[in-house]
């Protein structure tokens, strides 16, 4: 479904920024039997709202189609596990959480974050729409509702007396087609004295670093502090504090409270709003510069890989992630260039990347087959992966990191 009205403010003043063409769903990994059948593809184009500054894609794939059976398990990333542990320990200490508290996570995946609270004896509730992943969380002892979160779920939990002292929403707000229903549900489920911790990829980092591979059908919106400030204000919520994080190529961690709660907004919120205004968050220039840069970095990558193939080098990839699907499909890099893509998750091994049909294998294949170069699709976890694959590197293997700028490790 295509919508040319802004998802935040409803304006029809959307400016086309980047058209990536028709793409398959980035996480719709294929089985061998599916390779012979046509793949559905959908428009993937980016637009900018001059009224409220929200960057967004204009085509919405129904959430049921995207998330009911999902193959991304957060627990297969050591960096994500550490990230989750640190924020849970911090929140438990700062908010004085104990056995009388409740922590809710929206889009809780396999319970990787909430398990840290549960280990401290703090009651938890996960809300996760993917049936297979919710079952994994429940099996590890994390109480989980298998539902899409929105106003009805938030209202029901409040009526049941299940309001939260802390709500986590990590990398889910960008996935939500109904932003206002989500925020209304958040307001309902958050105690008057509670805090929501919302993490989103930061649009300024994405544009400044040409991180276009974060664009796929699951990511409907790309947030600035300016846009988040407007969104929370519309729902009697307050953007109380914001921190910039390095994770995922640059993210925001936003602390959101009810509008009347204390303390008030920190100086960091006002400073980031000022910086964004100076940068041009409501002007076309940064967005149009980004679109031109996408063409340049893609051309540079294709030229480099083409040259290596001419020299007789063998090439593979690492990380069967959604961002890799966007990059490979946009650059038209398939099995004629890449022999395989290695990934730690057994849920992905034996399948094929959508669109380009590169086979997914276990990471041990790097040592067994020794490709000369490996394109690191999950470059946002480069340090972790380079350390894990030290044996391959000691055998002479090299990693090509495509973004933010091309480099060989």
Axis crossing angle, helix 225-233 with helix 267-279, rounded to the nearest 10 = 120
Name the percent of the chain lying above pLDDT 90.
88
Q: Are 44 and 363 in contact (CB under 8 A)?
A: no
Mean pLDDT, residues 206-231 taken together: 97
The Cβ-side half-sphere exposure at 177, using a 13 Å CA radius, reads 16
CA 271 to chain centre: 25
- Specify burial of residue 129 (Cβ count, 10 A radius: 0-12, 13-18, 19+): buried
Alpha carbon distance 364, 221 (integer Å): 36
Mean pLDDT, residues 22-44 taken together: 95
Alpha carbon distance 304, 299 (integer Å): 9
Residue 93: CB atoms within 10 A of its CB come to 10
Alpha carbon distance 186, 195 (integer Å): 10
Buried b (16+ CB within 10 A) or exposed e, 201-238: bbbbbbbbbbbbbbbbbbbbbbbbbbbbbbbbeebebb
pLDDT category of residue 153 using cuts at 50, 70 and 90: very high
Alpha carbon distance 43, 45 (integer Å): 6
CA 71 to chain centre: 14
CA 131 to chain centre: 19
pLDDT category of residue 23 using cuts at 50, 70 and 90: very high
pLDDT in tens, 272-297: 999 999 999 999 999 999 999 999 99
Q: Are 146 and 129 in contact (CB under 8 A)?
A: yes
Residue 51 predicted with pLDDT over 90 = yes
| Token pair belonging to 95 | 């908010």
Strand pairing report for 251-258 and 42-49: unpaired
Residue 74 predicted with pLDDT over 90 = no
Name the percent of the chain lying above pLDDT 70.
97
Alpha carbon distance 78, 91 (integer Å): 20
pLDDT category of residue 2 using cuts at 50, 70 and 90: low
Confidence (pLDDT) at 248? 81
pLDDT in tens, 291-338: 999 999 999 999 999 999 999 999 999 999 999 999 999 999 999 999
pLDDT category of residue 53 using cuts at 50, 70 and 90: very high
Mean pLDDT, residues 198-202 taken together: 97
Closest CA to 375 of 357, 358, 354: 358
Question: In the chain, which segments carry CATH 3.40.50.150?
Answer: 66-285
Q: Are 265 and 241 in contact (CB under 8 A)?
A: yes
Residue 163 predicted with pLDDT over 60 = yes
How would you write the chain as a 3-class SS string?
Answer: CECCCCCCCCCCCEEEEEEEEEECCCCCCECHHHCCCCCCCEEEEEEEECCCCCEEECECCCHHHHHCCCCCCHHHCHHHHHHHHHHHHHHHHHCCCCCCCCEEEECCCCCCCHHHHHHCCCCEEEECCCHHHHHHHHHCCCCEECCCCCHHHHHHHHHCCCCEEEEEEECCHHHCCCHHHHHHHHHHHEEEEEEEEEEEEEHHHHHHCCCHHHCCCCCCEEECHHHHHHHHHCCCEEEEEEEEECHHHCEEEEEEEECCCCCCCCHHHHHHHHHHHHHCCCCCHHHHHHHHHHHHHHHHHHHHHHHHHHCCCCEEEECCCHHHHHHHHHHCCCCCCCCCEECCCCCCCCCECCCCCCEEECCCHHHHHCCCEEEECCHHHHHHHHHHCHHHHHCCCEEEECCCCCEEC
Confidence (pLDDT) at 262? 86
Give whole-number Cα distances, 234 to 181, 183, 228, 258, 367, in Å. 11, 9, 10, 11, 53
Question: In the chain, which segments carry CATH 3.40.50.720?
Answer: 303-408
Q: 303-408: CATH homologous superfamily?
A: NAD(P)-binding Rossmann-like Domain (3.40.50.720)
Architecture (CATH level 2) of domain 66-285: 3-Layer(aba) Sandwich (3.40)
Q: Are 341 and 366 in contact (CB under 8 A)?
A: no
């Amino acid at each position: 479904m295509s919508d040319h009205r802004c998802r935040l403010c409803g304006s029809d003043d959307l400016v086309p920024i980047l058209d990536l063409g028709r793409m398959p769903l980035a996480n719709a990994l294929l089985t061998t039997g599916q390779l012979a059948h046509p793949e559905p593809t959908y428009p993937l184009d980016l637009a900018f709202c001059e009224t409220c500054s929200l960057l967004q894609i204009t085509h919405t794939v129904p959430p049921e189609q995207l998330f009911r059976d999902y193959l991304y398990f957060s627990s297969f990333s050591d960096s994500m596990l550490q990230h989750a542990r640190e924020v849970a320990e911090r929140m438990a200490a700062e908010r004085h959480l104990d056995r009388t508290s409740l922590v809710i996570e929206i889009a809780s995946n396999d319970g990787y974050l909430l398990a840290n609270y549960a280990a401290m004896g703090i009651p938890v509730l996960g809300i996760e729409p993917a049936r297979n992943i919710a079952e994994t969380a429940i099996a590890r002892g994390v109480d989980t509702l298998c539902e899409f979160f929105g106003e009805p779920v938030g209202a029901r939990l409040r009526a049941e007396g299940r309001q939260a002292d802390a709500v986590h929403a990590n990398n889910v707000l960008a996935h939500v087609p109904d932003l206002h229903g989500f925020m209304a549900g958040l307001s309902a489920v958050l105690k008057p004295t509670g805090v929501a911790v919302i993490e989103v990829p930061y649009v300024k980092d994405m544009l400044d670093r040409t991180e276009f591979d974060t664009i796929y059908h699951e990511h409907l919106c790309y947030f600035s502090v300016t846009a988040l400030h407007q969104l929370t204000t519309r729902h009697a919520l307050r953007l109380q504090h914001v921190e910039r994080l390095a994770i995922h190529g640059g993210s925001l961690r936003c602390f959101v409270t009810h509008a009347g709660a204390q303390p008030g907004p920190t100086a960091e919120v006002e400073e980031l709003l000022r910086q964004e205004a100076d940068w041009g968050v409501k002007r076309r220039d940064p967005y149009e510069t980004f679109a031109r840069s996408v063409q340049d970095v893609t051309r540079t990558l294709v030229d480099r890989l083409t040259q290596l193939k001419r020299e007789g080098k063998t090439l593979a990839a690492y990380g069967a992630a959604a961002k890799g699907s966007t990059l490979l499909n946009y650059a038209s890099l398939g099995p004629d260039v890449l022999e395989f893509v290695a990934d730690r998750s057994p849920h992905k091994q034996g399948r094929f990347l959508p669109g380009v049909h590169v086979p997914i294998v276990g990471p041990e294949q790097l040592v067994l087959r020794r490709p000369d170069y490996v394109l690191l699709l999950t470059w946002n976890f480069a340090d972790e992966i380079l350390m894990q694959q030290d044996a391959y590197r000691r055998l002479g293997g090299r990693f090509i990191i495509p973004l933010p700028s091309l480099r060989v490790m």
